[in-house]
Chain A
């Protein structure tokens, strides 16, 4: 079984401030972890992913996330928020089971950037 918990359904930051979106997961198999961004009335766009290897992964638009196995976390950060970062962000976990990749999404965190 696997699950994802995103702490904070809404996060507000000032333009230029640090963005920190929290994600904790549970998985019975080695997880693959993802962050997706969704702009209003659009589909999901992959920001970054962790599969194996380096635990700090860099994605598009200046975002990065660190896989911490001991904390079962995969928090998303960006040093300086931009107005265009305002969107909803989803953390997801994927695990291989019986030859299939099963993907579970969190409930999302809506990021507001204040000018």
Chain B
């Protein structure tokens, strides 16, 4: 049983560009959350998707957007990249909005130059 998978593993972009990160949840999971982990920091909640809708959002600007597909996989899009967007982006999945236990993927390391 595959766990949470993310692609790509690493990505280098230039300021002002746009990026799309992808996440496939653990089998049987229907809820996907995205986190940003800057160097030396804990993960910060970006947003959560359930039934193809954004259900919760953290304190991130509208440059950060997402999508969830009918197969529960998800994308994170970041527009107009800033140097400060350089971070490890983690995807986590679980079953249902009220469930507390989530499983994390290995992350995508985004570097903005």
Contact = CB atoms under 8 A, between A and B. Distances in A.
15 contacts: A9-B40, A36-B104, A41-B109, A43-B4, A43-B104, A43-B105, A44-B43, A44-B90, A45-B104, A96-B98, A96-B100, A100-B48, A103-B102, A106-B42, A108-B42
Nearest to B48: A100
A100 B55 contact: yes
Q: Is the interface of A mostly helix, strand, loop or mixed?
A: strand
Given A42-B106, A44-B104, A46-B103, 5 more contacts: A32-B100, A43-B105, A90-B42, A102-B56, A108-B42
Interface string B68-110: 0000000000000000000000101000011111111111010
Contacts, number: 58
A43 B105 CA distance: 6
Nearest to A9: B40
Contacts of B101: 46, 49
Q: Is the interface of B mostly helix, strand, loop or mixed?
A: loop
A105 B104 CA distance: 13
Interface residues of B, number: 25
B38 to A, nearest CB: 10
